[in-house]
């Protein structure tokens, strides 16, 4: 088993949903976890709750992935405090849904800035430390929508599809330095959005999933935990789908 206590993980968008579940999973196995969100109080409070539950070392940072100086400041702090960053979970992402013919420039730009530019900012910021230590795991959150498309989500689908190409290209660049780069593409996962669906809409959604249920954040977190582990040392450039068979 890997010595998780020696690993430092940075989880963006770690205050709720899938990011929160990933942060909890990493903390439970003993990794040092830094989770980020735009709201400092929420990030710190979330980190404290996870730390109390897991008995681990969990830190909360206010960080805006679209602002390079914000990302660099967080990475610099982690390196000063712990000397290394081993795992990056690119989870921060947003939606601004609209039909393309009605989509405002702001709706397009905001999604692209967060979901793609944020991916670039965070990944580039951790690359030098990972290459220098000859160890790293970069895991980015795509979506089934990036594979299938979805009406009213041209901006979001574009951003999630871009993660697939980014993952494969970067994986080729850094594989020789023992840095792996992979992506996870969740299907429909139980979140605030799916919980707010009317019963009829939820039932119709479940009918489209061969496994007959909406996924849990923990389903995604377990896959991320594997990709972040020593056991996945020969897995890179891959897109792992976690969707209950919705798209095969």
Copy the structure tokens of residue 242: 């976690």
Task: Count CB-CB contacts under 10 A for residue 102.
Answer: 8
**In which residue are the tokens 């929160």 written?**
20
Copy the structure tokens of residue 150: 């979805």
* Coil, strand or helix at 212: coil
Q: Which of 120, 135, 156, 188 is catalytic?
A: 156
Cα distances from 111 to residues 2, 35, 39, 78, 120, in angstroms, run 36, 21, 19, 27, 14
Closest CA to 183 of 90, 117, 100: 90
Closest CA to 4 of 130, 137, 133, 183: 137
Query: Is 156 tagged catalytic?
Result: yes
Half-sphere exposure of 192 (CA within 13 A, CB side): 3
Cα distances from 115 to residues 23, 59, 142, 205, 209, in angstroms, run 19, 23, 9, 25, 26
- Name the residues annotated as catalytic: 156
């Amino acid at each position: 088993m890997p010595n998780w206590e020696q690993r430092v993980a940075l989880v963006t968008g770690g205050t709720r949903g899938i990011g929160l579940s990933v942060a909890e999973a990493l903390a439970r196995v003993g990794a040092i976890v830094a989770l980020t969100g735009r709201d400092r109080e929420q990030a710190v409070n979330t980190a404290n709750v996870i730390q109390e539950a897991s008995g681990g070392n969990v830190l909360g940072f206010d960080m805006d992935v679209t602002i390079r100086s914000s990302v660099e400041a967080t990475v610099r702090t982690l390196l000063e405090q712990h000397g290394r960053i081993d795992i990056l979970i690119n989870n921060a992402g947003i939606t601004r849904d609209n039909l393309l013919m009605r989509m405002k420039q702001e709706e397009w730009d905001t999604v692209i800035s967060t979901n793609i530019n944020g991916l670039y900012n965070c990944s580039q910021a951790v690359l030098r430390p990972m290459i220098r230590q000859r160890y790293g795991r970069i895991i980015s959150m795509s979506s089934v929508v990036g594979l299938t498309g979805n009406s009213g989500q041209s901006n979001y689908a574009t951003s999630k599809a871009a993660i697939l190409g980014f993952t494969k290209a970067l994986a080729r660049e850094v594989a020789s330095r023992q840095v792996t780069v992979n992506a996870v593409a969740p299907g429909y996962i139980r979140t605030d959005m799916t919980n707010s669906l009317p019963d009829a809409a939820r039932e119709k959604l479940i009918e489209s999933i061969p496994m007959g249920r909406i996924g849990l954040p923990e389903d995604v977190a377990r896959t991320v935990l594997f990709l972040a582990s020593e056991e996945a040392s020969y897995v890179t450039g891959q897109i792992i789908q976690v969707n209950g068979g919705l798209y095969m």
